Amino acid sequence: MKNIVLMGPPGAGKGTQAKLIIAEHNLPHISTGDMFREAIKNQTPLGKIASQYINDGHLVPDDVTIGLVKERLSMDDCANGYILDGFPRTLVQAEALKKLTEEINRPITAVLNIDAPKDLLVERISGRRVCKTCGAPYHIVNRKPKVEGVCDNCGGELYQRKDDNIDALNTRLDIYNKDTAPILDYYAKEGLLYTFDGTIGAEKLIQEINALLEGK
C-alpha cells in the first residue's frame, strides 16, 4: 500500500515530485498548503483563519490543520493510498497523524524526505511562479513557460505566491528547522524514513523515488 508522506524544506521539490508520483501511481495528492490556498481564494471560514498565518510564513495552528487532514484522509479516494504533501510539519501533527491513520486503518507506509541546501531553496522559491488554475510549478529562469505568464498545460495565469518573498521565506526556513526537521528523527525511529538528494533534478529524482515505491 502506498500511504506516503512527502517531506522537505520549502523549495526542495515536494510539489513537483508529488505531481510526478500521481501521474505514475494515480494516488490522491493531499497538499495542506493547496487546501489552505483554495479556502483563502473562496473566502471560507477556514480561509479567513489561515490567510494571515500563511502570508507571513507562519504555521496555521495544529488543531485546525489536523482536523482538515483527518477529514480528507477519511474520504473514499484515499482507501487505496495517498500522498501527503506539507503535512505533518510539527511533532504534534506527526503524532496525531500516526493515531488517526491507524484509527482509519490507513497507516503510513513510507516517508520520502527531499533534501537541498539553503542557497538552492532561496533561488528556487524566489523565482517560483505557479499556475492559478492547475497549480503547475514554473521558474523564471530554470523552468520558463513557452509564453511568459501563461501555463503550458492549461493556459492559466502564472502568479507569485504571497509567501514566496524573502522575508516570509526566511521565516518558513526557520520554522522548518525548528519545528519540522525534528520529525525526521521521529520517522527514522519508526523505520519509515527515506531521504533523497533534491539537487539532482526532477527527472532523476522521480526515477529514484519510483524505484523505491515499486517495492512498496
Residues assigned a catalytic role: 14, 89, 128, 161, 172
Q: Which stretch binds ligand AMP (CB under 6 A): 84-92, 100-108, 109-117, 129-137?
A: 84-92
Instruction: Name the H helices within the chain.
Output: 14-25, 32-41, 45-56, 62-73, 91-103, 118-126, 166-175, 182-189, 202-214
Q: Is the dihedral of CA 166, 203, 38, 77 positive or negative?
A: negative
59 binding ligand AMP? (CB under 6 A): yes
89 binding ligand AMP? (CB under 6 A): yes
138 binding ligand AMP? (CB under 6 A): no
Of 57, 81, 135, 198, which lies in the binding site for ligand AMP, with binding defined by CB under 6 A? 57
Report the Cα–Cα distance between both ends of the chain, in Å, rounded.
Answer: 6
108 binding ligand AMP? (CB under 6 A): no
Nearest approach in angstroms of CB 215 to ligand AMP is 27
36 binding ligand AMP? (CB under 6 A): yes
Of 10, 13, 81, 198, which lies in the binding site for ligand AMP, with binding defined by CB under 6 A? 10
131 binding ligand AMP? (CB under 6 A): no
Torsion angle of C-alpha atoms 71, 77, 78, 81, degrees rounded to 10: -170
Find the length of the chain. Answer: 216
Nearest approach in angstroms of CB 178 to ligand AMP is 13
Residues in 172-211 at the binding interface with ligand AMP, rule: CB under 6 A: 172
Please tell me the distance from the alpha carbon of residue 192 to that of residue 187, in angstroms, as a whole number.
Answer: 5
Pairing of strands 29-31, 110-115: unpaired
Please tell me the distance from the alpha carbon of residue 104 to that of residue 115, in angstroms, as a whole number.
Answer: 30
Q: Which stretch binds ligand AMP (CB under 6 A): 81-89, 123-131, 183-191, 201-209?
A: 81-89
Residue 161: C-alpha distances to residues 89, 127, 129 (Å):
19, 10, 7
Query: Which spans of this chain sit near ligand AMP (rule: CB under 6 A)?
Result: 10, 32-33, 36, 53-54, 57-60, 65, 86-89, 93, 163, 172
